[in-house]
Amino acid sequence: MDKIEITGGQKLSGQIEISGAKNAALPLMITSLLTPETLTLKNVPNLRDVNQLKIILGNHGTDLTVDGKRANGNKYIGDTVHLTARDIVDTTAPYEMVSTMRASFWVLGPLLARCHEAKVSLPGGCAIGTRPVDLHLQGLEDLGAQIDLEDGYVLAKAPGGLRGGRVRFSKVSVGATINVLMAATLAKGETIIENAAIEPEIGDVANCLVKMGAKIEGIGRKTLQIQGVDALEGAVHTVLPDRIETGTFLMAVAATGGEVELIGALPETLTAAIDVLTTAGVEITPTDRGLKVARRNTPLNPIHIETQPHPGFPTDLQAQLMALMTIADGRSVIRETIFENRFMHVQELARLGANISLNGDTAIIEGVSILNGAPVMATDLRASVSLVIAGLVADGKTQINRVYHLDRGFEKIEEKLSNCGAQIERVSD
Ligand code: EPZ
């Protein structure tokens, strides 16, 4: 199993290209189930989760081809993937597939909308919390689906097809919003989704659906209005840049010091994180091509934040911010309000000398003047990358085990960082 070894202490300087967003690419790929025509997606990041979803979609009958050459020979430009679900050959998403990647549960809405039936395994628990799917099911029932649970599977039927309805989510959910939005595009009549999530990835999916012929109003707002159509067509769409990867590199440079330009970064997709880092004393300025981040020899100010749905501070950057605050000048407080168990990085950061105490959903971080390298274990995607950030500043060598978590969501991270001067390498057993 691969490991990542980092020798800390180098400032970062140079440029990093931001890849396409994992959390947009996954649902965008799933929208291909809604049409028999070809959906072409550009800038698809080469990640484990993306490759796993290709297998899952293939099981439903999607033909996938990937362009052989990358434009301009640029290795971070992403793949161009053509997805054609001419015939859906299987409306079942089995446990073995859904359990490896929760986003695959989102095939439920499109399969139900197009084939009027679907059988999808419940995703089960996961390392960061229980993550129920009640909002997905309630939303689809509001569109007329009949839903039963049997042997760990959701059995959904909509004889004669889904019909538009009023969906009011009691809690903001990215996945439920995407699932119901996709389903509503082919339902008969009008659907109103209230208290929808407004993460930029949802806007990206909605914009792609519009290119495919869907009628959606209110994109980017908390109320979405969808007029169902009889069929969707093919389209060409470019995946938006990854705001979580962007935020991760902002924090890496904030931790090590130095100056890096993040090419392709979209500042408007991560204003909360930029505000927090600016408060912490990090210099962030927009450029023609993205964002420049710098920290000179100034100390880091501690921060107090809580994670919130967009446009608040994202839970997917909580672990990275915590890694940064381990070396701040004073006490920081981070409250996690989205997932109840998203603190697995705390004990690993402690192995590097961080001083963090947990009280329920709140972490209190007393900044220390130095971290020391040590072997650590990656536990989930964002927790793993927080260990990379800590390893970049720690004195001596940090070895990160189980890096397959990192490969789920960060494209060529060791290459991108080493191009900026980090001493980081992948070691295979
Ligand atoms: C998406 O997960 C992302 N995944 C997550 O990114 C991200 O952390 C999360 O949104 C929040 O931003 C993808 O985009 C593939 P939710 P999702 O439904 O949709 C509760 C990463 O690291 N809830 O918005 O599963 C839920 O338990 C991943 O890239 C219900 O109660 O998250 C949580 O407390 C991890 N019932 C809250 O809502 C439901 O039916 C928000 O979850 C659904 C969710």
- Stretch 328-353: mean pLDDT, rounded? 95
Joined tokens for residue 231: 């069929």
Q: Is the pLDDT of residue 150 over 70?
A: yes
pLDDT band at residue 159 under the 50/70/90 scheme:
very high
Q: What gap in Å lies between CA 370 and CA 104, rounded to an integer?
A: 41
Residue 198's SS3 state is coil
Any ligand 1 atom below 6 A from CB of 133:
yes
pLDDT in tens, 389-409: 999 999 999 999 988 889 889
pLDDT in tens, 4-24: 999 999 999 999 999 999 999
Helical (H) or strand (E) element with 359? strand 355-359
Any ligand 1 atom below 6 A from CB of 416:
no
Burial 80-114 (b: 16+ CB within 10 A, else e): bbbbbbeebeebbbebebbbbbbbbbbbbbbbbbb
Report the top-level CATH class of 22-238: alpha beta
Residue minimizing CA distance to atom 35 of ligand 1:
316
364 forms beta bridges with: 333, 357
E strands, 158-206, are 166-168, 190-194
| Model confidence pTM above 0.85 | yes
Helix, strand, coil content of the chain in percent (nearest 5): 35, 30, 40
C-alpha count within 13 angstroms, C-beta hemisphere, residue 344: 17
In terms of C-beta density within 10 A (0-12 exposed, 13-18 middle, 19 or more buried), how is residue 130 classed? exposed
Any ligand 1 atom below 6 A from CB of 386:
no
Query: For the chain, what are the domain ranges?
Result: 2-18+241-428, 22-238
- Stretch 188-209: mean pLDDT, rounded? 98
Pocket test for ligand 1, best of 142, 167, 173 (most atoms within 8 A of CB): 173
Torsion-angle region of 362 (φ positive above 0: left; ψ -120 to 50: alpha; else: beta):
beta
CA-339 nearest atom, ligand 1 = 34
pLDDT in tens, 96-106: 988 888 899 99
Q: Are domains 2-18+241-428 and 22-238 of this chain identical in fold?
A: yes
pLDDT score recorded for residue 75: 56
pLDDT in tens, 25-50: 999 999 999 999 999 999 999 998 99
pLDDT band at residue 154 under the 50/70/90 scheme:
very high
pLDDT score recorded for residue 78: 76
The CATH number of 2-18+241-428, from 3.40.50.300, 3.65.10.10, 3.40.50.2000, 3.40.50.720, is 3.65.10.10
Residue 33's SS3 state is helix
Is 208 catalytic? The answer is no
Q: What gap in Å lies between CA 377 and CA 387, rounded to an integer?
A: 9
pLDDT in tens, 41-78: 999 999 989 999 999 999 999 999 998 655 555 555 67
pLDDT band at residue 239 under the 50/70/90 scheme:
very high
